């Protein structure tokens, strides 16, 4: 990663010369739309740290950190230098049982992310000793219901739990999850959840964010159970079972402010009904749409009704961005977008030109969108974006020269542009 320094400005540019990048799917923001690259140097450690924080400085901890970083993992520290988070799922890699066991020697973890197909039950159950955990993400773990039963009751501080492709967990495992006293986010991604499990989930009055993406054993009619979750503020759904009837259920969620719909079989008519209903349009602040083959620019024009929308993602769809001109047609009513993602779109100059109307825009993600010199010049003229993701956009050095001089941009990401030379 290179750093280019300008007066009053740090411009961070990540360049991968071989053009190979990993795609990381976000969970609940935690998910901002743009995968921001920033530098986070460890805070200098004072000699007057409290006794309990000396663990952050020991040689033993340094060895553990080295092991974590060797497998492309990451650690996060608090202002005292104490390690409070470990990410062993970065890039969807799979870590060994040994690395996880070593990592769990770190006390005071508040966040733990693990992806592994080889971790043993014995090591996995050591997670129960991390009683300060507030967030836990487990992917591809060969764990069973009894492992959850042994771990979760000890994690009384847990607020966010994500299970992804942990295929040995059945509906029975849901009971341990919903019993967590502080749980607010529950994610079941590519899990073998059925109607029976969902019936248990909807009885929880504490869960306010729910992720059910790619739960292939759920039928369209099963989602009607969600009407009982009147406290739900954020919902993510994905898969071929997501049809117009599921959108009708969304209309019945009175507290919903964030919605994600991916790989769905919804019709333009069903989407239109959602986008003109004030039960949704007057509340939604975040909308993420991805890989929905039935929707085009003309169908997205009804998003002009979402006056409170601050975050919009339209990813992997056949759109040109020209619908943005319709959204901005009435200045007094247009959405005040702060985050916008048009990842892997077919952006036209007309669509790009409409971006100038969204003067609140702070983060723009155009990953995978082929950009011409004309498009780059239009984007470079935008005055407000601070975070600009132009990964895999086929940029060359001339385009980079045009874009990197923007004074507003503090973080520029250009990963996966092999035409950019040293």
* Model confidence, pTM: 0.85
Distances (CA, A) of 198 to 87, 217, 266, 342, 349: 29, 11, 22, 32, 45
CA 291 – CA 274 distance, rounded (Å): 18
Q: Which residue segments constitute the domains of the chain, with CATH numbers given?
A: 1-19+296-422 (3.80.10.10), 55-218 (3.80.10.10), 219-283 (no CATH)
3-state secondary structure of 406: coil
In the chain, % of residues over pLDDT 70:
86
Q: How far apart are CA 59 and CA 377, in angstroms?
A: 51
Write the pLDDT tens digit of every residue in 345-404: 999 999 999 999 999 999 999 999 999 999 999 999 999 999 999 999 999 999 999 998
CA atoms of 134 and 384, how far apart (whole Å):
34
Phi, psi (deg, nearest 5) at residue 111? -140, 130
Taking alpha carbons only, the member of 75, 26, 1 closest to residue 365 is 26
Looking at per-residue confidence, does 145 or 11 come out higher? 145
pLDDT at 183 over 50: yes
**How would residue 19 be classed by pLDDT, with cut points 50, 70 and 90?**
very low
Whether the Cβ atoms of residue 78 and residue 108 lie closer than 8 Å to each other? no
Q: Is the pLDDT of residue 8 over 60?
A: no
Q: What distance in Å separates the CA atoms of residue 414 and residue 422, rounded to the nearest whole number?
A: 13
Residue 58 has a pLDDT of 81
pLDDT > 60? residue 104: yes
pLDDT at 298: 97
Question: pLDDT exceeding 90 applies to what percent of the chain?
Answer: 81
Question: What gap in Å lies between CA 77 and CA 84, rounded to an integer?
Answer: 5
pLDDT at 92: 63
Non-local (6+) Cβ contacts of 244 within 8 A are 266, 267, 269, 270, 273
Q: Which helix (H) or strand (E) holds 278?
A: helix 278-281
Mean pLDDT, range 158-174, rounded to an integer: 96
Which residues pair with residue 90 across a beta bridge?
Answer: none
Other beta carbons within 10 angstroms of residue 345's beta carbon come to 22
Binned at pLDDT 50, 70 and 90, residue 57 comes out as low
């Amino acid at each position: 990663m290179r750093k280019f320094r300008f007066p009053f400005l740090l411009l961070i540019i990540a360049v991968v010369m071989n053009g190979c990048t990993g795609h990381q799917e976000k969970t609940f923001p935690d998910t901002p739309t743009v995968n921001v690259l920033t530098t986070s140097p460890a805070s200098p450690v004072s000699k007057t740290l409290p006794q309990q924080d000396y663990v952050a400085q020991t040689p033993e901890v340094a060895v553990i950190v080295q092991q974590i970083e060797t497998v492309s993992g990451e650690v996060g520290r608090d202002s005292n230098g104490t390690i409070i988070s470990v990410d062993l799922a970065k890039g969807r890699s799979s870590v060994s049982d040994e690395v996880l066991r070593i990592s769990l020697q770190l006390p005071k973890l508040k966040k733990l992310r693990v992806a592994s197909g080889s971790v043993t039950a014995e090591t996995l159950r050591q997670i129960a000793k991390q009683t300060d955990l507030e967030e836990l993400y487990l992917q591809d773990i060969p764990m069973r219901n009894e492992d959850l039963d042994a771990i979760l009751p000890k994690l009384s501080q847990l607020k966010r739990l994500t299970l992804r492709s942990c295929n040995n967990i059945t509906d029975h495992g849901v009971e341990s999850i919903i019993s967590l006293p502080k749980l607010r986010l529950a994610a079941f991604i590519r899990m073998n959840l059925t109607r029976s499990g969902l019936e248990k989930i909807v009885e929880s009055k504490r869960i306010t964010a729910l992720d059910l993406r790619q739960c292939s054993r759920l039928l369209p009619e099963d989602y009607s159970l969600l009407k009982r979750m009147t406290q739900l503020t954020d919902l993510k759904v994905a898969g071929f079972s997501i049809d117009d009837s599921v959108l009708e259920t969304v209309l019945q969620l009175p507290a919903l402010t964030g919605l994600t719909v991916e790989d769905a079989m919804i019709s333009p008519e069903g989407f239109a009904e959602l986008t003109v209903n004030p039960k949704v349009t007057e509340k939604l602040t975040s909308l993420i749409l991805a890989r929905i083959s039935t929707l085009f620019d003309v169908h997205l024009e009804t998003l002009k009704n979402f006056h409170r929308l601050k975050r919009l993602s339209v990813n992997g769809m056949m759109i040109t961005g020209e619908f943005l001109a319709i959204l901005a047609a009435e200045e007094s009513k247009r959405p005040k977008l702060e985050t916008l993602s048009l990842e892997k779109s077919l952006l036209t100059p007309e669509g790009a030109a409409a971006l100038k109307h969204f003067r609140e825009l702070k983060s723009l993600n155009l990953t995978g969108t082929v950009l011409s010199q004309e498009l780059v010049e239009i984007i470079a003229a935008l005055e407000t974006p601070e975070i600009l993701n132009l990964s895999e956009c086929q940029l060359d050095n001339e385009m980079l020269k045009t874009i990197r001089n923007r004074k507003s941009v503090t973080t520029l990401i250009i990963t996966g542009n092999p035409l950019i030379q040293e």
